[in-house]
Amino acid sequence: MADKVEFELVSPEKLLTSQPVDMVVVPGSEGDFGVLAGHSPMISTVRPGVIDVYEADRVVDRVFVAGGFAEVTETRCTVLAEEAIAVAEIDRAKVEQQIRDLGEDLEDAKSDDEKARVEAKIAIARAKLDATGATTTH
C-alpha cells in the first residue's frame, strides 16, 4: 500500500481521532469522496452521513457525523464534525423515537424558521437511521 493519509476527526469539544489510515470516504454535500494520500487540497461541506475509514481495502471504522466541514491536503484529511458517533453505538430504537418526537414538534412548529430547524434535525436523525441500516447489510 502506498503512503498513508493522516485522518483527523474533531468535534468542538475535543479531538476525537487522529491516526494515519489508508483511505477515508467522506460524505461531502455534493457527493461522497474518498481521500487517499496525495489528494489535491480541497475544502468541502459535509452532509449528515457516515465516514468510512479504510485500512488495506477493508472498512475498519465507521463514524456517523451530523454535518460539518472537511479540509483535505496532500497528507491530511481533517473533518470538523458537529456531532460524531460511532455507527456501532447508534441505538436504532432511540433514533426512531427521536424521529417520532421531532415529527410531533414539526406539527407544533409555528414559524417557518422553527419548521426548517426541526426538519433539519429530522434529516439528521433519518441519516443516522440509514447509517445503522447500512451496517447490517455490510
Q: What secondary structure letter does DSSP report for 72?
A: E
In the complex, the residues that contact other proteins under the rule CB under 8 A are 8, 10-15, 28-30, 40-45, 69, 71, 73, 78, 80, 82
- The rounded distance, in Å, linking the Cα atoms of 122 and 135 is 20
Residue (43 or 88) nearer to other proteins, CB: 43
- The rounded distance, in Å, linking the Cα atoms of 70 and 46 is 7
Residue (78 or 135) nearer to other proteins, CB: 78
Nearest-approach distance from CB 58 to other proteins, in angstroms? 27
Residue (38 or 133) nearer to other proteins, CB: 38
Query: Which residue, among 82, 83, 81, 56, has the nearest Cα to 71 in the 3D structure?
Result: 81
Nearest-approach distance from CB 29 to other proteins, in angstroms? 7
Place of cell 412548529: 109
